[in-house]
Amino acid sequence: MLASMMRRLLLLLSVSLLLLSVTIGADEARPVYVEVTQMSDSEYLLKWKIPPVMSQGQEPAIELRQSNCRINKGAVAGKPAGLVGRKLYRCDSNTQADYQIELIYPNSNPALTSLIVFKPLSGDPVQVFSGPEETLVTLSLVTSPAAVAKQYTVAGIEHILIGTDHLLFVLCLMMIAGSFKRLVLTVTGFTVAHSITLSLATLDIFRLPTELVELLIALSILLLAAEIVKHRAGGAKDSFTWRYPVSVSAVFGLLHGFGFAVVLQELGLPSAMKVQALLFFNIGVELGQLAFIVMVSIVVLIVRHWMVTQARHQDRLAQLVVYSIGVCSAYWLFERSALLFM
């Protein structure tokens, strides 16, 4: 009885995620990407890419701030603000100070994080992750183990928390697991599996095409949603998914690990600290996943306390929500299939 009520309430909690998913899709909640490439001792190329979720006219102007740097007038510099742009800067060759990137929003930052990558002539790239409140980001040319640990842990947390498809999958696992013991085992299976493929892909041991991975992730959500629907109708009580949720989460976890690796490959790994960066990115993913599960569990307890008299309406809303999960994942499946076979 308690497990059944928890499943119902977990379905209610997915409403907000579904609204976000239908509105912006699974992969549009990406950070603002800024790249600074040192072309020579005195020239620096600034490039940026802004996610499509940004409203037109709200794109930030992006500038390289350093007292001895100026825009090269002979360069074709893209628009000051736009989804994609570039500027070429000329700086004094003896400049030793850290560089700064400034993001100037017309009004305010709509809760987007930023990823700043600096690629020097020699040495490892430097990545800096900044929150929505930071509009002036310093690029330190010295990368310490502590800085790598912080940067990649934050990156892992942010990726899982803005990855709507991953969160919906975890939510489906929570619905299927039901009891606390099964939930722990199910999530552990998912964690171990995606950690394996994340490592294999990031270290270039084995990879799958990105488009295929994204398609299979959408399919995994759709299959779990279908299992939940059949179970609610009384037709999946003895199915493999409900009897062995750990095995199911582990198999699908292998796919999601390749998805996590796509993000980490885009960020790049410092050659001298690849293992450390991989480890802390994975830790960040687990921390974000744990935070999501804890948040959902707390809300379940609160909602169970004050919605106990509205069980009749919970069934109807739960049915609507679980079908919405299926529709949303089916939309991603068709969208990603088109990208794969175009």
Burial class from Cβ neighbours inside 10 Å (0-12, 13-18, 19+) for residue 144 reads exposed
Q: What is the CATH number of domain 32-143?
A: 2.60.40
pLDDT tens-digit readout, 206-237? 988 888 999 999 999 999 999 888 887 776 66
Q: Residue 308 pLDDT more than 70?
A: no
Name the more confident of 140 and 100.
Answer: 100
For CATH 2.60.40, list the domain ranges present in the chain: 32-143
Neighbours of 196 (CB within 10 A): 15
Selection from 18, 23, 20, 21 nearest residue 323 by Cα: 18
Total-model pTM: 0.74
Quote the pLDDT of residue 28.
Answer: 47
2-13 vs 274-306: helix axis angle to the nearest 10?
110
